[in-house]
């Protein structure tokens, strides 16, 4: 089978030898801020009624692109620390005053960031002039049509400059209807079956529209926790959001956002619980334990599902109160030979699928089969993740196949074993962490373009290698110390940019 993806990663460097562990793990890893929450916080701060001070900001390619895009639309960002994890944001006035380049055109580079290519165009419909959006070659393959179809229905100017429904695209205020006085919410439908980001993008812009917006998805919406995250982010900044009842049928659910610019103030961003997955899963593969501090007691992040998923895959999860009153989540395991298969509907937490798939592939060598469902929308992510996952599992000797809405991994026959290989990443950060986790369980694997993890987790190779270093070899190490509490932790792995 050949993966229908963006194609193999560009040979920017020699493949990275995926490290293995010399013994059970015993580590604490502090993660940078959530990519999803950072994106929402940046957008809302850029259009707020007053300045905002953000802490815990993820510094990565995606978030740097978001800051650049919002700067083009008139917001100002000031770093309050060297790493940029604390920022002061001065919002733009309405209509958003765009900044043209030397050629007189207003352009936004989306890179490969779904949040930039989907969250920012609705703001361009509230700007003083049209904006042209484009990005990496891979971004031109990602679906975009539904959110811009909804904008066009509301009177915005939308001109496709290439294949309809995909970047590049020209977006502007058009008839100006979105800023016209109104006493009632404007109503619009959106097909969000391809990505919950289509719905979230419109929700984020909705409070800026006089009268607000009433948004009705026409069918199934994957990753609903991300929509709940968007609604919660709006509410936390004083915006009134009416959500549909959980029992409302698909096609009959309406989110109504009332008008009113988000409040400014201080906003703290939670650690990225999705990115916690590969590190926590490493404890199941290598044995031992990995702890993530500052785990939120209540959160809208999809990564909170690790509490349920890792025990189903053969691990153990405990949550304990730390000395500072916060929570710390610890995953522990007995090694790859103890991994079990899983039958899981991941429709609400699709971003966790690559890590689950890596554990499922390793479990197949134990005679355990797995089935992951509800993730058809992953075909439209940074790459076609379903095809990529199946291709790479097959590359190491596993038996996997795509289904209509997911993948299946068959149990290997007795005596069969997985084999090392050079694993492709398809310029997809989650495929790179998937490959690294496979390499942890299959000595001798190499990972092409591991640097693509910079999209959401800068310095991942260092974090991963240090995680797997025996604690006895570095009894006094303090990596990424950022607070007095950190200095009490004997073994810490932290992204250097999170300092």
Over residues 174-187, the pLDDT tens digits come to 988 899 999 999 99
430 among annotated binding-site residues = yes
pLDDT tens, residue by residue, 298-314: 999 999 999 999 999 99
Write out the catalytic residue numbers.
351
Write down the pLDDT at residue 471.
60
Residue with tokens 């700067």: 71
Write down the pLDDT at residue 382.
86
From 391, 397, 234, select the one nearest 300 (Cα to Cα): 234
Beta carbons of 256 and 214 less than 8 angstroms apart: yes
User: What is the C-alpha to C-alpha distance for residues 285 and 333, in angstroms, rounded to an integer?
Assistant: 7
Residues linked to residue 217 through DSSP beta bridges, in sequence order: 190
Distances (CA, A) of 493 to 124, 283, 423, 459, 466: 40, 14, 25, 11, 7
Domain 16-32+271-468 has CATH 3.40.718.10: no
454 among annotated binding-site residues = no
Q: What are phi and psi of 351, to 5 degrees?
A: -65, -15
Write down the pLDDT at residue 12.
54
List CB contacts of 469: < 8 A, sequence separation 6 or more: none
455 among annotated binding-site residues = yes
User: What is the C-alpha to C-alpha distance for residues 221 and 71, in angstroms, rounded to an integer?
Assistant: 31
114 among annotated binding-site residues = yes
Ranges under pLDDT 70 in the chain: 1-12, 470-499
| Domain spanning 35-250, CATH architecture | Alpha-beta prism (3.65)
Write down the pLDDT at residue 4.
40
Write down the pLDDT at residue 246.
83
Instruction: Kindly give the residue spans of alpha helices, DSSP state H, lying in 129-272.
Output: 145-153, 196-205, 224-236
351 among annotated binding-site residues = yes
Instruction: Kindly give the residue spans of alpha helices, DSSP state H, lying in 255-384.
Output: 273-286, 306-312, 353-364
User: What is the C-alpha to C-alpha distance for residues 44 and 121, in angstroms, rounded to an integer?
Assistant: 14
From-to residues of CATH 3.65.10.10 in the chain: 16-32+271-468, 35-250
User: What is the C-alpha to C-alpha distance for residues 127 and 320, in angstroms, rounded to an integer?
Assistant: 48
Distances (CA, A) of 13 to 25, 68, 227, 356: 29, 27, 38, 27
Q: Per the structure block, which two tokens stand in for 392?
A: 């790479």
């Amino acid at each position: 089978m050949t993966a229908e993806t963006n194609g193999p990663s560009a040979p920017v460097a020699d493949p990275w030898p995926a490290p293995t562990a010399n013994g059970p793990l015993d580590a604490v890893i502090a993660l940078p801020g959530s990519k999803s929450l950072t994106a929402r916080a940046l957008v809302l701060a850029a259009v707020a009624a007053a300045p905002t001070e953000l802490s815990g900001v993820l510094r990565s390619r995606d978030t740097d692109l978001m800051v650049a895009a919002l700067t083009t639309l008139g917001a100002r960002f000031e770093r309050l620390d060297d790493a940029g994890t604390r920022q002061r944001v001065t919002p733009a006035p309405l209509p958003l005053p765009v900044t043209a380049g030397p050629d007189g055109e207003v352009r936004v580079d989306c890179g490969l960031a779904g949040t930039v290519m989907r969250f920012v165009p609705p703001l361009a419909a509230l700007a003083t002039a049209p904006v042209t959006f484009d990005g990496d070659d891979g971004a031109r393959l990602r679906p975009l049509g539904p959110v811009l179809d909804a904008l066009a229905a509301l009177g915005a100017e939308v001109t496709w400059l290439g294949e309809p429904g995909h970047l590049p695209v020209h977006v502007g205020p058009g008839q100006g209807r979105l800023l016209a006085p109104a006493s009632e919410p404007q109503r619009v439908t959106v097909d969000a079956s391809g990505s919950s980001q289509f719905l979230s993008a419109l929700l984020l812009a909705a409070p800026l529209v006089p009268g607000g917006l009433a948004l009705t998805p026409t069918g199934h919406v994957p990753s609903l926790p991300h929509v709940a995250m968007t609604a919660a982010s709006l509410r936390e900044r004083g915006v009134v959001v009416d959500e549909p009842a959980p029992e409302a049928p698909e096609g009959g659910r309406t989110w109504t956002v009332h008008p009113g610019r988000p409040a400014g103030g201080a906003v703290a961003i939670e650690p990225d619980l999705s990115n916690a997955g590969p590190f926590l899963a490493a404890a199941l593969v290598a044995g031992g334990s990995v702890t993530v501090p500052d785990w939120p007691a209540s959160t809208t992040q999809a990564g909170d599902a690790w509490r349920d998923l890792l025990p189903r895959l053969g691990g153990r999860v405990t949550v304990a109160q730390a000395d500072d009153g916060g929570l710390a989540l610890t995953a522990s395991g007995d090694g790859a030979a103890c991994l079990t298969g899983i039958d899981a509907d991941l429709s609400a937490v699709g971003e966790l699928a690559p890590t689950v798939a890596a554990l499922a592939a390793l479990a197949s060598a134990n005679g355990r089969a797995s089935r992951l469902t509800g993730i058809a929308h992953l075909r439209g992510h940074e790459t076609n993740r379903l095809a990529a996952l199946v291709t790479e599992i097959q590359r190491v000797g596993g038996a996997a196949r795509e289904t209509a809405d997911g993948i299946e991994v068959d149990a290997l026959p007795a005596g069969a074993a997985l084999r090392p290989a050079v694993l492709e990443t398809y310029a997809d950060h989650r495929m790179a962490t998937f490959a690294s986790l496979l390499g942890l369980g299959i000595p001798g694997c190499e990972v092409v373009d591991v640097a693509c993890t910079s999209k959401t987790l800068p310095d991942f190779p260092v974090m991963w290698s240090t995680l797997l270093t025996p604690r006895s070899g570095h009894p006094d190490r303090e990596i990424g110390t950022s607070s007095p509490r950190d200095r009490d932790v004997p073994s810490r792995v932290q992204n250097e940019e999170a300092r």
